[in-house]
Amino acid sequence: MAELILNRGAERRLKRGHLWIYSNEVDTKRSPLKGLEAGSQCQVLDSQGKLLGTAWVNPSQLICARLLSRKDNFSEDDIGERLQTALLQRQRYFDHPSYRMVYGDSDALPGLVVDRFNDHLVVQVSNWGMDRYQQVVVDKLIELTQPTGILLRNDHQGRAVENMPLINQIAYGEVPELVPFEENGVPLLAPVHQGQKTGWFYDHRENRRLLNRWVRGKRVLDLFSYAGGWGIQALANDASHAVCVDASQQALDWCQLNAQHNGFADRLDTVQGKALEVLKAMVAEGEKFDVIVLDPPAFIKRRKDHKAGLAAYRHINELAMRLLSEDGLLVSASCSMHLQSEELLDCVRGAAHRLGRRASILASGGQGADHPIHPAIPETNYLKAHFAHLGGSRW
């Protein structure tokens, strides 16, 4: 097994529990990265030659290695044991088999995501090391969950970054275009073959559960709705009406299918278009909503995008507030890892101040228990949502 020797002091972060090794932390004179095969295992040593553990390497990437074990080896048995541990953890905290079963580094399985939709599983692999164990993962998942089918959604951006082939195929059994599952007691359909990521976003489960308590009889606007995670659940919890807005007509068709699946399609309207343009048009028309959910894609994908992304969050929060009725509720969310929760809160505060409205924060939330945060890896903690009650004119 090849050795990866770190520069002096570079081991400190690993000793605190982090799992990533950056290329500038490697002593390339003593252990050249060039020539190492992507996905191969290596032993990681500190500058004094002390073993730190075993890692997968990808010499062409900034994150050139990911620690797998604090021991001197890593095997198929480790994969199986960690999958079983991840499953048992979800079974402890969830009554229904609809959840993210594996969340990468947080489950000690770097490069692997597994979402469970009742009897169907969707698997995503995002590094060469895990790719070598893909069949092992599939076989163990069959043994652990006895699924009807397993879909490999290996056609995502994470693989493109690693220069890996993009593949979308069924690895086992049968997987329909729309798979049934449940979230917060609401029956839903996930477009696992064609939808974003794995077909659904389980991460906001607890935030949706909280909102569901406050929507009875309310008119709800779900911006960046995708397949209707927020809006459909609001209707299932007796919202009077919901409007889902998305740039994708296909996503809005899935919203309609989910509404039909629950028997309340007559209370749902959809609007296709870019959120900013739709918001401006609604403001001009004098529209008002009792509840607005603002759950955009990441406006800050890289650290260098922070300034422009923060301005975008400020702008869209102010536009949304212009549509919010007196004593309305705004859910302002972000999945940008590079945006701090306090910064998003300041976007809400600033928008309310500029519009002369008194804001009260009722609650703040993050990702659910099936997206556990690794305490040494801040990158696993990315989701935030603030629930803001907005009063009327300047007090």
**Any idea which residues carry the catalytic annotation?**
335
* CA–CA gap between residue 257 and residue 311 (Å, rounded): 35
* CA–CA gap between residue 381 and residue 359 (Å, rounded): 26
Sign for the pseudo-dihedral over CA of 121, 125, 130, 133: positive
* CA–CA gap between residue 82 and residue 113 (Å, rounded): 13
Three-class SS state of 124: strand
Dihedral (C-alpha) 38, 41, 45, 51: value to the nearest 10 degrees?
170
Task: Kindly provide the b/e burial profile for residues 300-309, where b requires at least 16 CB atoms within 10 angstroms of the residue's own CB.
Answer: beeeeebeeb
Q: What is the DSSP string of 202-253?
A: GGGHHHHHHHHTT-TT-EEEEET-TTTHHHHHHHHTT-SEEEEEES-HHHHH
The helix (H) or strand (E) run that includes residue 270 is strand 268-272
Largest CA distance in the chain: 69
Residue 11 token pair: 């081991």
